[in-house]
Chain A
């Protein structure tokens, strides 16, 4: 049976069958490995040597390549921010101690949308009524002060020890101002059902 199988095996005229290579009827050809794949191999080996040389033997900086990249990334971001501030000082200089409340409906609606989008509902309830985690926002009692600047501050910088996280990495000043406005103008005094007992003063 094996012989008939071997007879059936066809191969190109140029290929040389290796006479003594037959395993369960499988034969092998005496072809050279394709040169491109050998070159690919040599190139990757050379590239690897250069890579190791560059990042290890010839690396001059005090910090590692990885740390150096990180520092450069931070520096680039800071420079970009400074440029931005310089380009429009009015817009980007912001006095957190003097917060005015918006009263336009569009701004208040934007504040309301932020309340839902940023996950405030998880701790302060859908209607600001408070729950097991966060206090009621609709009553007159405030744990961290009730002026616009106080509310702005606690949203922006948080009070982590009490579980209020800082939103400074999640919202711009303008957004926080809108949210503050909505809370103090619309939400406060809304008297929702199941409200949590007042906390603070």
Chain B
């Protein structure tokens, strides 16, 4: 048949390879900083841009989307062209894919450092960047599918199946998990609330692991491993079975991130069972990879490339066994919120993703530059440094996880928590965290060695940017199955049908879980006492999201005695219906905050405690590893978008009264003044306009609604009847003074004390009134009290006449 001449685009492969190397180094370095921050809080530098809450998303996104993302594109652009015997479909799309992706990475790093985040793990990007991601990802897909259509190879190889599944699944996941309503250019609210948001988020989060860190990498493995070993793939039939089983089952497993949490039982059970069913399909990939090396193990001894690949595939096998294990509820009860999860993802990340990328680069760079690797010895040293790094990283973290979870759950013989002070369970981990830094440093050093080795290799060779290749044109074949052709073999030469089947396989799982969660009311039972956040609390919540508090604090008490004893009542589905986004968290570096506002609860701290704690955590909690947040005290809260935020929330179904947006800022200021006055009464002078006030308001709201009894809710909605009789005659005022001296001085100080020093309650004889200064306001607070702030309700303790007298005395004195 007639040979056609065409040219492989090697330049785009080179660019992606360079980007992989660059972002790999950056991502590892940022990870190292994050590890240092957890061992030594001084590395937070008291600087907003680099506190742990912002560094962590930079690290995770840099590794997943920058390092691994570029590695995927490198391998895919190289192998797609060769497996399909065609140049990429469109050079512009290739370039757009490359430069667009790098632009996204830089924008991500900058916006995360500035605190622009949606507060959803691995999906933290704000909406304009989300749109860019969608655009660039679709460009990649079109480029790949275009190449498949103009291919010169009759059948598509298993690597291409995996690339196709990855493209489709990631596109769907990203779009569904990023449906947001913008407030302004860099702020949006996700349309889902509470448990619905959690289900969508972990359907996404889990499958970002599946279809970004796993399936494209299996594609890379199926190309580069047989190439590097020069061996045939062990079993074509195993490829078929494990491919379809894997992509179908993966999509169901997301709820295993939410076990024992506020999630309906049926969804939890799907998460458990589908995770367990994932073992064999995942191991299918490992078996096919390792068995391909049968008879080539002698090569593994000599070749650093194969060593990297073997450890990568083994690491994949270990993670995919550990994942289902962690999805069993009894194991998850121990592992969740501890470092076990962190260790687990790093076995996957450092071994599978890191080592496969390194092996691929050591094979690919000399190939592209038509030369030999500069130093095999250095590559071997890199391999051992990296392997030791993984061990020194993972072993201490497993140790830390067991230590902490056992400390959390231990009770004394008398039945109280053995380690009630959360800090004790963290201090214990510091030596492990220091060892982890050592592991990370070893791994990082190895990567630097690789950079040197590859630069030397590149310098010694030259690249053919457009490599000439020949292949016969694709022959016309029957649309129907040929005699003796299996259905799958037929499907492999029908890429459109193939893609449709992939789409069906990946859509089913998500649809079955997400649609009922949205449509069936019984999945989210409402709780009458749960009300929307006040404007100030909403702004405070946005600060909570901005600072990445969720990276260390959960808001999810699980139904275990060890948690309800420590934190309070366990979390219910109906509590989170106004939470856009949900903030349940996934790791407890600090204690759970779901009940932090419950005055009679176990977690309650006063406003002044929170103020001092944010300013200097170690002043309030010895050995705390929390960063300090001095800028919250310095910076003014912006209320420019408060009204807009309220109206966006209304669009999302949060029941603020009609027209409330216009009144929001006034209410916000009123509440802020109350909190600032309360702080002032405790000797803390801070303007009500500062960000810290909003954050305190939010923290003090957490868990409050659910703790209210049904009766209290009613009482609150009933109008309190204020029956104040102002008295001005001297006799009554003197009688009022006597009542005051007898009952009030203990907290409010003697009459005339206007600076309030040394007082528990606020000074009453100045002009600042926390609860309003009209006669009725003062009477109301005296008779009804404000228990949350320490003011008693005096209506049960004093006769009506004395109440009138004492209020009149205070008001008259003021004049």
Contact = CB atoms under 8 A, between A and B. Distances in A.
A45 interface: yes
Contacts of A34: 238, 287, 291
B801 interface: no
Contacts, number: 205
A110 interface: no
A41 B232 contact: no
A135 B279 CA distance: 59
Contact of A73 (B269, B560, B788): B560
Interface string B197-233: 0000000000000000000000000110011001111
Nearest to B607: A163
A98 interface: no
B323 to A, nearest CB: 13
B604 A160 contact: yes
Interface residues of A, number: 74
Interface stretch (B128-136, B179-187, B448-456, B619-627): B619-627
A119 B605 CA distance: 13
B585 to A, nearest CB: 19
A161 interface: yes
B377 to A, nearest CB: 25
A74 B564 CA distance: 10
B609 A10 contact: no
Interface in A79-114: 80-81, 84, 92
Interface in A115-169: 117-119, 121-123, 132-133, 135, 143, 160-163, 165-166, 168-169
A107 B366 CA distance: 74
B461 interface: no
A73 B241 CA distance: 43
Interface in A21-76: 21, 23-34, 37-38, 40-41, 44-45, 47-48, 51-52, 55-56, 64-67, 69-70, 73-74
Given A26-B226, A77-B411, A170-B416, A65 B231 contact: no
A32 B266 CA distance: 36
Given A21-B236, A119-B421, A122-B619, A80 B684 contact: no
Nearest to B159: A23
Interface string B585-627: 0000000000000011110111011001000000111100000
Nearest to A59: B265
A191 interface: no
B712 to A, nearest CB: 15
Given A37-B284, A77-B411, A170 B420 contact: yes
A51 B604 contact: no
A195 to B, nearest CB: 10
Contact of A169 (B265, B287, B420, B788): B420
Contact of B287 (A15, A27, A37, A119): A37
Nearest to B239: A28
B276 A9 contact: no
A155 B326 CA distance: 40
A200 B415 CA distance: 35
B136 to A, nearest CB: 27
A5 B609 contact: no
B608 A133 contact: yes
Contacts of A121: 622
| Residue among B83, B412, B606 having the largest count of chain A Cβ atoms under 10 Å | B606
A196 interface: yes
A24 B413 CA distance: 68
Contact of B269 (A55, A84, A135, A161): A55
Contact of A161 (B232, B283, B291, B788): B788
- Give the top 5 A-B pairs by smallest Cβ distance, nearest first: A197-B758, A48-B273, A41-B280, A163-B606, A170-B420
26 contacts: A5-B230, A18-B236, A21-B155, A23-B83, A24-B82, A24-B227, A26-B226, A27-B232, A28-B233, A29-B235, A30-B237, A31-B236, A33-B237, A33-B238, A33-B241, A33-B242, A37-B238, A44-B277, A56-B265, A66-B268, A122-B619, A132-B608, A132-B684, A133-B609, A143-B760, A196-B758
Given A40-B279, A44-B276, 9 more contacts: A24-B79, A30-B235, A31-B291, A48-B277, A64-B265, A66-B265, A69-B559, A133-B609, A163-B605
